[in-house]
A and B are shown apart, each in its own frame.
Chain A
Amino acid sequence: QKEVEQNSGPLSVPEGAIASLNCTYSDRGSQSFFWYRQYSGKSPELIMFIYSNGDKEDGRFTAQLNKASQYVSLLIRDSQPSDSATYLCAVVDNNDMRFGAGTRLTVKP
C-alpha cells in the first residue's frame, strides 16, 4: 500500500515566523510532488510542485525534496494569518496520485 504521511497538526506559528510542513512517502518510484492549500470549506489549490531533489522557491514558499530519504517539505517564510489553512501533500507515481491527510496550519497575529 502506497502511503503519504503528514502530521495532522494543528501547527501553530506566530505571524512573521517560518512555518515548516513535512510529508513522507513510501513509494520510492514516486516522480512528482505537490503541495496544495485548502481553506476551510473550499477546494484544494495548488501552490507548489517539485520534481527534482533540492529546493524550489516561489515567493514566500519553498518546497524541498529529498528522494533518498523520501520526504518533501514546504517552508512558508514570513507567515501571515491568511496562510492559515490545511496543506495537502500529493505524490504521483505513474499517474497514480495520492494525497496525505493534510496538516492544519494556524498563523497567529
Chain B
Amino acid sequence: DAGVIQSPRHEVTEMGQEVTLRCKPISGHDYLFWYRQTMMRGLELLIYFNNNVPIDDSGMPEDRFSAKMPNASFSTLKIQPSEPRDSAVYFCASSESGGADTQYFGPGTRLTVL
C-alpha cells in the first residue's frame, strides 16, 4: 500500500486566497483525521471522520476552515479566506479502527500564507 497520500506537499499562497488540501487515506481505513502542526501550538487535531461522516470538528479553529469527505478514498480541508496565521504543516492520518495505536500519518502539506 502507498500509505496516506497528501497533496500538495507544499503550498504558498497570499492572504485572502482559498486553499484546498487533499488527502487519500489507506484503503480499508474507515477513520480519517486532519491535524495541524505549528511551532507555537504543536500538533492539534482539527477534525476526524468515520465512514465519511464528520464525528468531531471541535478542533477546527474557525468558520474559515471546512473539511469534507465525499467518499472513502478522498478528503479535503479548505481554508477560505486564508490568513498568515494559518501557516503550518497540515497532516492527514487514517486508521482502521479509530484508535491512535493504528493511526498512520501522511507526509503533510506545508502551507505558507504570505
A residues neighboring B (CB under 8 Å): 32, 34, 42-46, 49, 88, 90, 92, 95-102
Contact = CB atoms under 8 A, between A and B. Distances in A.
Given A42-B107, A92-B100, A97-B45, 8 more contacts: A34-B101, A43-B106, A43-B108, A90-B43, A95-B55, A95-B98, A99-B42, A101-B42
User: For the side of the interface on B, what is the size category?
Assistant: 10 to 19
Nearest to A45: B105
B43 to A, nearest CB: 4
Contacts, number: 39
Contacts of A34: 100-101
Binding site secondary structure of chain B: strand
B49 interface: no
B7 interface: no
Contact of A95 (B56, B91, B105, B106): B56
Interface of B: 42-45, 55-56, 91, 98-101, 103, 105-108
Interface of A, helix, strand, loop or mixed by DSSP = strand
A41 to B, nearest CB: 9
The 8 closest A-B pairs by CB, nearest first: A43-B105, A99-B43, A101-B42, A49-B101, A34-B100, A43-B108, A44-B105, A99-B42
Contacts of B98: 95
A100 B105 CA distance: 17
